[in-house]
Amino acid sequence: MTESPSMMHLSYNAKRSLSRGLAVSGITIAAYLLIVVVTTPSLPPLAAVNTAFAINSPIIFGTAAGTGTQSFISSYGKRMGCQLNKRKHIVGAGSGSTAFSSFLSFFSLVPLGCCGSWLFILSFLPSIFGSTLSVVLIQYSTPLSYIGLSIVLGFAGLSAFKLNRELRLRKYLAQGKDRGSNHGR
């Protein structure tokens, strides 16, 4: 008789990794909202937070889900002895796209009076990126932030695929060793 998914018990490693993933998700949301509140001196904190959720809730929750999932997978993989991140630049690209997506999502809040300090940052864009790229970053900040979010979620999916493949390979090899030791008797 098999257990239903609601009756399954998580292993110690899974519980620890899940709590780490949830903590990282919570920290991601808190950091995003803290930046919104700090960079919006013209609105009360509650109004700034409500505006951020009204406009960017898919970005806020998507980024939190992506980073939390990535943290869970990474932690669980390490606890199981898997080495998922053999290439360090892939991990950097995932965290870089998280920062890029969040950075661009703040621009969509500026016209609503939220994140007014970002206007100051926007004024530096032409000197850093050039005027054409700056216009593109500002004009298409919302679609670009969703592209960044899809990259974050894509890296989480890729990590989940790698972990699943590694665990299946280990299980297959362990079954092969068991069969080999039984034939020797």
Residue 60 lies in a domain: yes
Residue 181 lies in a domain: no
Q: For the residues 167-175, what does the mean pLDDT come to?
A: 85
Whole-number pLDDT of residue 116: 63
Distance CA 93, CA 64 (A): 16
Four-residue CA torsion sign, 74, 160, 25, 38: positive
Q: What is the 3-state secondary structure (H, E, C) of the chain?
A: CCCCHHHCCCCHHHHHHHHHHHHHHHHHHHHHHHHHHHCCCCCCHHHHHHHHHHHHHHHHHHHHHHHHHHHHHHHHHHHCCCCCCCCHHHHHHHHHHHHHHHHHHHHCCHHHCCCCHHHHHHHHHHHHHCHHHHHHHHHCHHHHHHHHHHHHHHHHHHHHHHHHHHHHHHHHHHHHHHHHHHHCC
Whole-number pLDDT of residue 180: 62
What's the number of domains the chain is made of?
Answer: 1
pTM comes to: 0.75
Residue 99 lies in a domain: yes
Residue 167 lies in a domain: yes
Residue 86 lies in a domain: yes
* 28 CB neighbour count, 10 Å cutoff: 21
Residues 11, 12, 18, 20, Cα dihedral to 10°: -170
Residue 139 lies in a domain: yes
pLDDT, tens digit, 9 for 90 and up, residues 14-52: 899 999 999 999 999 999 999 888 888 888 999 989 988
154 pLDDT higher than 80: yes
Whole-number pLDDT of residue 80: 83
Q: Write down the mean pLDDT value for the chain.
A: 79
Q: For the residues 134-160, what does the mean pLDDT come to?
A: 84
Residue 185 lies in a domain: no
The closest of 36, 166, 173, 77 to 181, measured between CA atoms, is 173
Of 50-59, 91-100, 112-121, which has the strongest mean pLDDT? 50-59
Tokens of 165: 């493949």
Distance CA 142, CA 108 (A): 6
Residue 100 lies in a domain: yes
Q: For the residues 156-169, what does the mean pLDDT come to?
A: 89
Range of the domain at 15: 11-173
Least confident of 9-18, 28-37, 99-108: 99-108
